[in-house]
């Protein structure tokens, strides 16, 4: 598809989350994009002349997105085991839905794809969450995007609609500890959700091709 200014179409999954909400707002205000497709389970409570909402059943993601066209894909899907209810369901959301959405975006013509993963993600990790994220990263790299941008933020900072037990305490603690995290420990500093969203957009519109891992301390 054409990549002329104002002609690009972005497709986004995870638009209701902490990063996704910031991302949608930035894309809608960006002169780089003439159309933004939000793939959601329930309609978003916003309207905009650039915004198209695609309400789907995520278990049928590939077939439900078979008729779309896009230039760039963005994925902010992710959950917690508490919200998912089980490790199996969390794996479906954090791995299966992400990979299937990436495949759908590629089939739609997207040449570049940005995704939110996590610091420490590794397919060989003994931690279930980090192993799931790592497996997701490995599988995304099998899709032949011109550019794949994997963001690995540490603790996400921002106002979350969804209440997560202990998160406010964690944010307060992270703000206190951040000045002490220097040198090789900088990557563990908390990062604003808005900064992650902004970095995703900059990445897909950069000159960099291939697979790029963007760690927390590089998200500025």
The single residue of 97, 106, 129, 149 carrying the catalytic annotation is 129
Told to judge if 87 belongs to the known catalytic residues of this protein, a careful annotator would answer no
The single residue of 133, 161, 175, 209 carrying the catalytic annotation is 133
User: What is the SS3 string spanning the chain?
Assistant: CCCCCCCEEEEEECCCCHHHHHHHHHHHHCCCEEEEEEEECCCCCCCCCCEEEEECCHHHHHHHCCCCCCCEEEECCCCCHHHHCCHHHHHHHHHHHHHHHHHHHHHCCCCEEEEECCCCCCCCCCCHHHHHHHHHHHHHCCCCCCEEEEEECCCEECCCCCCCCCHHHHHHHHHHHHHHCCHHHHHHCCEEHHHHHHHHHHHHCCCCCEEEEEEHHHCC
Told to judge if 133 belongs to the known catalytic residues of this protein, a careful annotator would answer yes
Residues annotated as part of the active site: 129, 133
């Amino acid at each position: 598809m054409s990549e002329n200014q104002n002609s690009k179409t972005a497709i986004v999954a995870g638009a209701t989350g902490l990063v996704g909400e910031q991302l949608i707002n930035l894309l809608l205000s960006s002169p780089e994009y003439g159309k933004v497709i939000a793939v959601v389970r329930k309609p978003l409570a916003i309207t905009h002349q650039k915004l198209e909402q695609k309400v789907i059943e995520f278990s049928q993601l590939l077939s439900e997105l078979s008729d779309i066209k896009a230039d760039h894909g963005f994925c902010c899907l992710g959950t917690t085991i508490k919200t998912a209810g089980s490790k199996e369901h969390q794996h479906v959301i954090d791995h299966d839905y992400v990979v299937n959405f990436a495949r759908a975006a590629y089939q739609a013509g997207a040449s570049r794809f940005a995704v939110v993963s996590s610091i420490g993600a590794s397919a060989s990790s003994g931690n279930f969450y980090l192993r799931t994220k790592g497996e997701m990263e490995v599988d995304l790299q099998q899709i032949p995007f011109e550019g794949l941008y994997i963001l690995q933020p540490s603790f996400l900072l921002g106002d979350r609609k969804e209440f997560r037990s202990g998160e406010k305490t964690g944010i307060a603690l992270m703000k206190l500890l951040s000045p002490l995290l220097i040198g090789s420990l900088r990557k563990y500093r908390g990062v604003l959700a808005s900064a992650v969203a902004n970095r995703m957009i900059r990445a897909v519109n950069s000159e960099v091709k291939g697979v790029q891992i963007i760690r927390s301390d590089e998200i500025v």
